[in-house]
Amino acid sequence: MTANLDFRTKVGNFFTPKNLLSWVVVTVGVVVMSAGFALFTNPYKIIPGGVYGLGRVLHDIFPSIPTGTFGFMFDVPLMIIGLLVFGGSFGAKTIYAALISPLVMNGLTSLVGEGPLVEADYLAEGKEVAVSWITNYFNFADDPLMAAIFGGLLIGAGVGIIIRGGATSGGTDIVSMIISKFCKMKFSAAMVMVESTIVIIGMLRFQDWLLPLYSLISLYISSKTVAFVLDGATYEKLLFVISEKNDEIKNYILNELGRGGTYIKSSGMYTDKDRNMIFLVVSRKEIAAVKSRLHDIDDKSFVVVMDAHETYGDGFKKFDVNENTNA
């Protein structure tokens, strides 16, 4: 009886307008991200990291297999590994995003073609209707730098929208998280290492020394766009949490999130009851998952989230001892 009630509750929660909207948001994010790859980076052999960047390199070796399919072939085992290593932090929306991304990307690629958009090619294939606007607005054969810029903007915006919807882009993010967890390395440093490796692989395959430059530009713009979509121009987030379930929250922060926190002695003005308030700083990529997890642990908790424009210390920026000071 209890199991049936729980099932009905979960089904009811799924069909709430807010939850359904989040699935739509994830879908929009996948389309925007896929458009960045299909229209701007893939045709010009720009490799902005990620499983789809690696998929573009492999597609050049095995032309019969689309880039999106290679991405899917990487995403599935990485999702399984992520579930084994991190457990429930990988939800249904992330799996959904990983499943539809190759379908959308392959569909867009079949529509616009795999190489630079050239009007003669479209005319030869009888696509006169598409020529007028596709070739006018998306032909960067003579300016791959612009392709790298626009590709980075769209890919970053898409990934940011996906995260906004409560999912992750999966792929190399999972590899970076695993390296960070087991090698005691910052997530950002692990991500740079993984993505740079993919860029170097692309350079070796295409034997074009300009491609790494375009790829790094696209990768940089993509990362900055993700940050802007998620949280504007701010950086880390500072949280104050008041809850009756501090032990459970502590276990989550230390063991699941992999961060530290601080207890601050506080007293309720209305009740005069002494309690510990939790002080915590997280990255902008973590904030959505943290708020969701805090709600799951204690939906009656009181949480204040503030911007932390500069955060120094373990897990964040190091102090710059050479920073200018006035004596």
| pLDDT one-digit tens code per residue, 231-258 | 665 567 889 999 989 999 999 998 888 8
pLDDT number for residue 248? 92
Mean pLDDT for the stretch of residues 204-230: 83
Contact 163, 230 (CB under 8 A): yes
pLDDT number for residue 5? 46
For residue 205 the two structure tokens come to 């395959």
**Mean of all residue pLDDT scores within the chain:** 78
Sketch out the chain's domains with CATH numbers. 2-231 (no CATH), 236-308 (3.30.70.120)
pLDDT number for residue 120? 45
Q: Is the pLDDT of residue 8 over 60?
A: no
Q: How confident is the model at residue 200 (pLDDT cuts 50, 70, 90)?
A: confident
Contacts of 256 by beta carbon, 8 Å cutoff, 6+ apart: 87, 89, 293
Q: Distance of alpha carbon 62 from its chain centroid, rounded?
A: 27
Q: Is the pLDDT of residue 187 over 70?
A: no
Query: Which residue, 67, 291, 59, 53, is CA-closest to 173?
Result: 53
pTM over 0.75: no
- Specify whether the backbone of 94 is left (phi greater than 0), alpha (psi in -120 to 50) or beta: alpha
Distance CA 296, CA 283 (A): 20
Q: How confident is the model at residue 279 (pLDDT cuts 50, 70, 90)?
A: very high
Contact 324, 260 (CB under 8 A): no
Q: How confident is the model at residue 194 (pLDDT cuts 50, 70, 90)?
A: confident
Contact 237, 284 (CB under 8 A): yes
Of 70-74, 130-134, 190-194, where does the model show the most confidence? 70-74
Q: Distance of alpha carbon 158 from its chain centroid, rounded?
A: 8
pLDDT number for residue 326? 39
For residue 130 the two structure tokens come to 């598409």
pLDDT number for residue 9? 57
pLDDT number for residue 178? 81
Q: Is the pLDDT of residue 323 over 50?
A: no
Mean pLDDT for the stretch of residues 195-219: 84
Mean pLDDT for the stretch of residues 97-108: 87
| Structure confidence by residue, pLDDT tens digits, 12-59 | 565 688 778 889 999 999 999 999 988 888 888 888 878 888 888 888
Mean pLDDT for the stretch of residues 105-125: 66
Mean pLDDT for the stretch of residues 141-158: 88
For residue 233 the two structure tokens come to 């121009």
Place of tokens 């950086």: 235
Query: Which residue, 44, 220, 76, is CA-closest to 143?
Result: 44
Mean pLDDT for the stretch of residues 209-217: 83
Q: Is the pLDDT of residue 288 over 50?
A: yes
